[in-house]
Amino acid sequence: MDDVKVKVTGEGFGEDSPVRRAALEVEDHVAGGGWDQQPRLFALVLTADLLAKQPELADQLGEPDSYTPIEQELPAGREVEELLPEIGWPQEVAGCAVVIERLTLPPEAEAQVPQDPAEAIEFAAQHPDRQEMRIVAAALRDGSAHAAVRPRVPADAPLIEGPGMLPGLVALVAATLED
């Protein structure tokens, strides 16, 4: 984890990029719905392409060189990590973003986690040092990616973000864009 770059949002916190802006837009949109949400999936379409096909949307969309998130319906009852390998996008989709909520435990609790998945979930849910997180992972066909994590507590917790965060989840998202 030493090679992972982490940024806390705010003034002066590094470079901006189209995939970063898309990830933060998705996170802001989902945050508006509060916590305890189901996983959400978004196709990222180049805004210029969308405007070329639907110019009447010009007053609702961002800059032409940005990406517009378009939410997709996910089947209920399956983990996103299971679904992502089954997803493929047409060439018109330039990227993808996924949002999930997860419980995290401190590293010292890892040795105590039961092997049985159901018992592990119960253990995490009851652990006094658990922390709930909203996680956004976004990737574009050009190989760029960005991830963001927002702790649930405290309510004003800063967004932790960076292009090198959550490489496993980002790789699953990026794989949906492969031909």
pLDDT digits 0-9 by tens, 56-81: 988 888 888 999 999 999 988 888 99
The three-state (H, E, C) secondary structure of the chain, written as one string: CCCCCCEECCCCCCCCCHHHHHHHHHHHHHHCCCCCCCCEEEEEEEHHHHHHHCHHHCCCCCCCCCEEEEEECCCCCCCHHHHHHHCCCCCCCCEEEEEEEEEECCHHHHHHCCCCHHHHHHHHHHCCCCEEEEEEEEEECCCCEEEEEEECCCCCCCCEEECCCCHHHHHHHHHCCCC
Q: pTM of this prediction? A: 0.85
pLDDT digits 0-9 by tens, 85-130: 999 999 999 999 999 999 888 888 888 898 888 888 888 888 988 8
Residue 157 makes CB contacts below 8 A (sequence gap 6+) with: 150, 151
pLDDT digits 0-9 by tens, 21-49: 999 999 999 999 999 999 999 999 999 99
The ranges assigned to domains in the chain are: 7-175
